[in-house]
Amino acid sequence: MRSCTQTWYENWPPLSSDITGESVRKLVTPLLFNFVAWLRGFSEDPEASEHVKVSEGHAIKIFSICQDLINVSSKAKIQTPKSLALAMVARQISGCSSLINVLNGLGHCISLSSTMAYDSALAQKTINTSNDIPTNFVPEEYVNLVCDNIDFGDLIVKQTHVTCGIITQKMTAQSEYSLPYFSDSIIIGKSQRTVNAPFCVIPEYNLGERETPTFHKVHEDALSMLIAVKDGAGRIAYKLDLAYALSKMAQAADENPLPGWTGFNTMLCQEIPAVQRVGYLPVINGSPTE
């Protein structure tokens, strides 16, 4: 355990992309891992230079125990992926400070003070890189933008309407070998407990008065239905939407109807990507309807 060093991430604070199984294997030395595996009877291989081969379920438990041993033996000076991730999960799900203190007392996660410092560092890094391309995104590759509203004061006369968005990029075979974008390294202190809100003027976006969208007209005909569609890729999309609407109408009284629009299109996809890059966009001072 004394040979374990805090080298599993490059810059503070480590992001979710840094907290991986490979980072854990990088932190936990083979000798420590193998010792716990021998102690628990999961392996008898006399190996000292590489991690012994055990089942995936046993490996997860062994790595968890090893990270607790490293955290306790270093007097919490070495913050492991587990100690950071578990503290943030407990904070985000429960918001209970006492729960973090209990987990820290048992040696499973960092202290409440370190949790707040880690949270502040993540916020500071987001502020520092808000105008940059999100980390691990590949330039000149196709992306999707998804936006939704965040309304404050829904029950009062003067409400606040802002738009929050995320950016996603599918992991293709070509983009996996492309060079991802990394912003310049910005040093953030570990002792930072508060974050000062940046002074900036958020531009307002307004397209004018709210209007009803124009839909394509469907001409009813006993022999045929003439549907106004666009050329190119839009033609397939319009046909799929029509097929979905007709299928739902045909199975309106069925006990096992078709799923919703998203589920219907998912059924038609031959291959659904399992991994995507996800990043957060700056908040827009305006309603997404506009």
- For residues 24-58, one letter each, b for 16 or more C-beta atoms within 10 angstroms of the residue's C-beta and e for the rest, the string is beebbbeebbbbbbeeeebbeeebeeebbebeeee
Give the model confidence (pLDDT) of 74-85 as tens digits.
888 889 999 999
In the chain, where are the structural domains located? 21-128, 140-290
| pLDDT tens per residue across span 3-60 | 555 578 888 888 888 899 999 999 999 999 999 999 989 988 888 889 999 999 999 9
Bigger pLDDT: 206 vs 229:
206
d(CA 170, CA 176): 10
pTM of the model: 0.61
- What's CA 251's distance to the chain center, in Å? 36
Report which residue type is found at 116: M
pLDDT of residue 126 exceeding 90: no
Length of the chain: 290
**Per-residue pLDDT at 227:** 47
Q: Report whether 156 contacts 132 (CB < 8 A).
A: no
